[in-house]
Amino acid sequence: MKISILGAGAMGCMAAGFLVKRHDVTLVDIWKEHIDAINKNGLRVRFQGEETTVHPKATTDPNEAKDADLVIVFVKSTQTAEALEKNRVLLGPHTLVLSLQNGYGNDQDIMKFAPKDNIIMGTTDRAASVLGPGFVNNSGGRYIHIGPLGEDMSGAEKVAAAFRECGLDTSVCDNKHVTEMIWDKLIINCANNALVALLDINTPLLLEEHLSDSFKMLLGESVKVARACGLPFEESVYVDKNIALLKSLSKEARTSMWQDVNKKRRTEIDRMNGAIVKLGREKGVPTPCSELVVHLIHAIENKYV
C-alpha cells in the first residue's frame, strides 16, 4: 500500500516505524530539520529501551507523496484543516484518509477535502513522544479501533489488514461505534488533560481529594453534552472508568497537554474542553467548569515567549 503520513511527529513516526515493514511509506512534515535527519540517518525508534532504525521516505514537499492509497492524518487536531489545505495534492479521488487523532471535529475538517466514503476514523491507546530530530520513543499500547465515516466498511477492512500485517493490532467497527469510541476518549481527555497541565502534576495525582472532585466536575459536563448529542453515556460509568485508568498509569505519567505546555506549544484545548463548551452552547447544556479550564489554558499559551 502507498501510505503518506501527514504530520511526522510522535504518532506519525511511531506509525511509520511499523508500517514501513510492508508498505511504501512517506512522512510529510514542515519540520525540515527532522525530515533531513530521517533522510540522512533513517528514523530512530526507541521501544522499551531498545533502539531500531527504519527507513521510510520523508519529505517537506507533498508533491513527492501525492495520490497515496492511504493518507494518515497525524497533525494536532487544531492543525487538521490547515494541513490538509496545504497538502491537498496527497489526496487522489480514491485515496482513503484515516484519522487516529484526539479531539472533536477532525472528521468534519477532513470532509472538506475528501468524500465521506473515503474517510476512516478511529482511536488508539498507543502513545509516543519525539526525542529529537529523526528520533522518537514508541511508548507502546495495545489497540487501534477504526471504522468508516459512511456505511461502506471495505476501506476500513483494507486498512486494518494492512496495519495487522505490520504488527499493529487493529479492529474494525461501524460508524456508530467509532463515533462512540471517539467521544469516549474525548470525555477522558477532557477530564484529565487540562488539569494536569494547569497544576503541573503527575496524572495519577488526580485521584487525590479535591483533584478527583475537579475531574468529576469536568467529566460530568462532558457526559451531559455527549448525552445531549445523542450518545448513550452514563456519568457514573465514566467516573469509574477514569478512576480505573488513573490507577493503572505509571506514577510519572503526564498528559499530552502537559507535554505541550511544557514545550510551550499550542495545545489541543479548543478541540477538547473547548469543543464541549461549544457543543454545550448549541445544545443548551451549561459547561462553566470546561469554559474556565479553556480560558486558563489559553492564558498559559499567551504567556509563552
Known catalytic residues are: 185
- Judged by CB, which is closer to ligand NAD: 32, or 40? 32
Helix boundaries (H) for 61-133: 80-86, 106-111
- Kindly state whether residue 258 participates in binding ligand NAD, applying the rule CB under 6 A: no
- Kindly state whether residue 30 participates in binding ligand NAD, applying the rule CB under 6 A: yes
User: Cβ 223 to ligand NAD, closest distance in Å?
Assistant: 20
- Kindly state whether residue 279 participates in binding ligand NAD, applying the rule CB under 6 A: no
For the residues of 258-292, what is the DSSP string, one character each? Answer: HHHHHTT---SGGGTHHHHHHHHHHHT---HHHHH
- Kindly state whether residue 193 participates in binding ligand NAD, applying the rule CB under 6 A: no
Q: Of 87, 60, 68, whose CA–CA distance to 23 is shortest?
A: 68
Q: 150, exposed or middle or buried, with CB in 10 Å at 0-12, 13-18, 19+? A: middle
Cα angle, residue 43 at apex, residues 40 and 45 outer, rounded to 5°: 150
Are the C-beta atoms of 89 and 66 separated by less than 8 Å? yes
Of 10-18, 199-207, 283-291, 292-300, which part binds ligand NAD (CB under 6 A)? Answer: 10-18
Which listed residue (5, 16, 27, 28) binds ligand NAD by CB under 6 A?
28
The side-by-side arrangement of strands in the sheet containing 135-140 is: 50-54, 43-47, 135-140, 127-132
- Judged by CB, which is closer to ligand NAD: 10, or 195? 10
User: Cβ 259 to ligand NAD, closest distance in Å?
Assistant: 8
Q: Report the alpha-carbon distance of residue 52 to residue 48 in Å, rounded.
A: 11
Of 47-55, 120-128, 170-178, 290-298, which part binds ligand NAD (CB under 6 A)? Answer: 120-128
3-state secondary structure of 78: helix
- Kindly state whether residue 77 participates in binding ligand NAD, applying the rule CB under 6 A: yes
Q: Report the alpha-carbon distance of residue 53 to residue 87 in Å, rounded.
A: 27
Give the orientation angle of helix 154-164 with respect to helix 10-19, to 10 degrees. Answer: 80
- Kindly state whether residue 10 participates in binding ligand NAD, applying the rule CB under 6 A: yes
User: Cβ 185 to ligand NAD, closest distance in Å?
Assistant: 8
- Kindly state whether residue 9 participates in binding ligand NAD, applying the rule CB under 6 A: yes
- Kindly state whether residue 8 participates in binding ligand NAD, applying the rule CB under 6 A: yes
Which listed residue (3, 5, 6, 65) binds ligand NAD by CB under 6 A?
6
Of 5-13, 51-59, 90-98, 160-168, which part binds ligand NAD (CB under 6 A)? Answer: 5-13
- Judged by CB, which is closer to ligand NAD: 127, or 249? 127
- Judged by CB, which is closer to ligand NAD: 58, or 206? 58
Give the orientation angle of helix 175-199 with respect to helix 235-248, to 10 degrees. Answer: 60
Count of residues binding ligand NAD (CB under 6 A)? 29
Q: How many other CB atoms are found less than 10 A from the CB of residue 177?
A: 14
For ligand NAD, the nearest residue by Cβ is 9
Q: Report the alpha-carbon distance of residue 286 to residue 11 in Å, rounded.
A: 34
Please give the grid coordinates belonging to residue 104. 472533536
Which listed residue (25, 38, 75, 98) binds ligand NAD by CB under 6 A?
75
- Kindly state whether residue 101 participates in binding ligand NAD, applying the rule CB under 6 A: yes
**Buried/exposed 17-49: b ≥16 CB within 10 Å, e otherwise:** bbbbeebebbbbbeeeebbebbbeebbbbbeee
| Contact footprint for ligand NAD (CB under 6 A) | 6-12, 28-31, 74-77, 79, 82-83, 86-87, 101-103, 124, 127-128, 130, 256, 268
